[in-house]
Chain A
Amino acid sequence: MAKENTQTVALDTSDDSKVAGHFKRNRFAYFFGALVIAAGTGIRIYLDTMGFTVGTDYYSEEFQKYWMPVLYGELILLSSFTVILSVYCWMTRETDASSISKELELSRYWKLLGIFTVMGIWAGCVASNAVESDAAWHQVTIRDTDFTPTHIVIFYFALPFLTAMLIPAFIWTHTRIPAYMNKISVPFLAVVCGILMIMPNYGFNEWGHTFFYAEELFAAPIHYGFVFLGWSLFFLVPLAMQLIGNMARLIAETTADDYQPAA
């Protein structure tokens, strides 16, 4: 990236109007945010349409035809998304922190915030759509197998997708931003691990359901695993404080009157 360009991005010294500048600056968040909203809306419409019509019996041909391919598709898509992006971020890692200019570093922080914005938009979609769809589903249908339409949406797509974004973002941050290079941010790691652990925790949930087979008390202790893992979001505050401290320093330095950009 050319230095002048970097400086424009990092410090927003472009000549664009206020609105145009805003969209240009945040095009990453707008583009990918729109993309995840579109994906979420699509899968929601599919759930609404195909949930009660062909989704109530795992052992039916219809279920195998209309829901299982969705599950396999999700698993393939998300695992390849995570692996390819993570491997790419790792393989293209930078090791020399001193070669990264302050402007470039700051622009990468803005990009990280863009990534977090996309994840946040997805988190909002999951919260408003997916979480209680499973509640509503289980309270009106008889528990069948783990592969109910709402599980296929929330457990095998909605929440893993958050992990699928978090892991590459974690690697990217730790290989691109000098403050994070050659060390590991504890709160960031806690957030990633907590959300990641939700997937193995399905095992606890389903194992628990083999005891009281089909009743759906949402406040049941077998669900507390998810609650506990959700607490990993508490670590967002210290993570935000890390970002605040680092970005404040960079902004203060690069906007100072006597600041000389590195040659």
Chain B
Amino acid sequence: MSEANASGLAETEVKARALDLKSLDNPRAMKLYRRFDGIIILVLFTFLVLGIQIQFTLTAGDWDYWIDWRDRRWWPLVAPFSLLLFIAPFTYGIWERVRLPIMATAVTTLLCLVSWLSRYLNFYEFTHFPLSFTFPSTYIGLGILLDCALAISRSLIVSTLIGGGLFGALVYPINWSFMAPYKVPVEFNGMLMSVADMMGYQYIRTTTPEYLRIIEESTLRTFGGSVTPLTAVFSALCGMVVYAAFLWVGYKINGLDKFTKRIV
């Protein structure tokens, strides 16, 4: 109360805030608050689903649709970049105002659920691709790491460094558990191909030719010849930077919970 006064609030506002606080002990008010929570979760999450689906489809979708796009150099970089960019502004607002470290897990889990539904309806039912060729990747574990880093450290900066970094770095390992079988070698017409390449060749995509894939091509290898750890480190850096940048966007946007007198 005294703090509120010190911050220069009007007397009526101070009184109203005291009443707000008092309502937390009022079961009738709490019942309505809980009802509000239920609705706001539904609304927020359904809109989040649309937002992340548009964002992810149009930035990292190609890599996520086809198993023969999930390479070691581009996909582990593009996917976390796209996700962190979308997660950060929501995390900022929800953390600052209600202290809930949930947005990264919410976005990644919702993306996973909607991707499965969408792949089934659109790629399996509508256009006949087998799910073994078009299953989505998972990023849920990364979302949990990012949110938990925030919950444990209670600091956006620390969570950016630890969570943002891990989110970028671990895209390949988290998916490798079920992606490895698709990278087993096959011989075809005297050439070496992975199972994923073979699927890309056999399951015809009329306007997604082989050359359209933005994937790793041979070039100088550092870190003892490996590409995956190299991408992981760079992706961790990108994760931190993009997450920080969009937390700032979130900070700006969340300051705009205002009213204006007219449409400028």
Contacts and interface: CB of A to CB of B under 8 A. Distances in A.
Interface in B15-62: 16, 19-20, 22-23, 26, 28-29, 31-33, 35-36, 39-40, 42-55, 57-62
Interface of chain B: mostly helix, strand, loop or mixed? helix
Contacts of A84: none
A136 B94 CA distance: 34
A129 interface: yes
A217 B215 CA distance: 13
Contacts of B31: 12
B167 interface: no
Given A237-B90, A251-B32, A187 B256 contact: yes
Interface residues of A, number: 71
Q: Identify which of B20, B39, B119, B249 gathers the most chain A CB atoms within 10 Å of its CB.
A: B39
A251 B23 contact: yes
A83 interface: no
Interface string B117-151: 11101110111010000000000000000000000
Interface in A119-137: 119-121, 123-124, 126-129, 131-133, 135-137
B195 to A, nearest CB: 20
Q: Identify which of A51, A141, A255 gathers the most chain B CB atoms within 10 Å of its CB.
A: A255
A48 interface: yes
A97 interface: no
Interface residues of B, number: 76
B20 A252 contact: yes
A162 B89 CA distance: 22
B43 A132 contact: no
B47 A132 contact: no
Interface in A229-254: 230-231, 233-244, 247-249, 251-253
Given A132-B65, A244-B36, 11 more contacts: A120-B45, A123-B47, A127-B118, A128-B49, A219-B214, A224-B58, A234-B90, A238-B93, A238-B257, A251-B33, A253-B19
Interface of B: 16, 19-20, 22-23, 26, 28-29, 31-33, 35-36, 39-40, 42-55, 57-63, 65, 78, 86, 89-90, 93-94, 97, 114, 117-119, 121-123, 125-127, 129, 204-209, 212, 214, 249-250, 253-263
